[in-house]
Amino acid sequence: MTVETVKDAQDFLTVTNNGQVKRIIDIEMLLERHGSTMVLSFLKDILKEKQRILRDLVVTDKTTPKVNETIAAMFRIHMAIKTIEREREVRAT
C-alpha cells in the first residue's frame, strides 16, 4: 500500500476538535503489524458494530448526541475502507 493511500485513510480516521487531534483508529500502526487484508476486515467489523450501536441508539433515544457521533464515525470508517479498496483495485489491474 502506498504511503499516500495510508495517509489518506488515516486522515479520514482522524478528527481535530479545538486544536486536539483524536484518532478514531490508528491505521498506520495496524498496517505496520498486519496486512491490508486484515486491516480492511477489521475496519468492516468495526463498521458493522457501529451500525448495531446506531440501531440501538435510534430505538432508545433519537435525540442523543451519540447518534451524530456514531454516524460521523461510520462515515469516516466507510471512507477509509473505500480508500484502501480503491488502491487494491488499481493494483489488481
The boundaries of the domain holding residue 80 are: 3-92
d(CA 18, CA 6): 25
What pTM was computed for the model? Answer: 0.91
Q: Which three cell numbers stand for residue 25?
A: 483508529
Q: How many domains does the chain have?
A: 1
Work out the pLDDT band at 92, boundaries 50, 70, 90.
Answer: confident
Cβ(25)–Cβ(13) below 8 Å = yes
| Model pLDDT for residues 31-89, shown as the tens digit of each residue | 999 988 999 999 999 999 999 999 999 999 999 999 999 999 999 999 999 999 999 88
Tell me how far apart the alpha carbons of residues 29 and 1 are, in angstroms, rounded to a whole number.
13
Segments of 1-93 assigned E as strands: 14-17, 20-23
Q: How many CB atoms lie within 10 A of CB 35?
A: 11
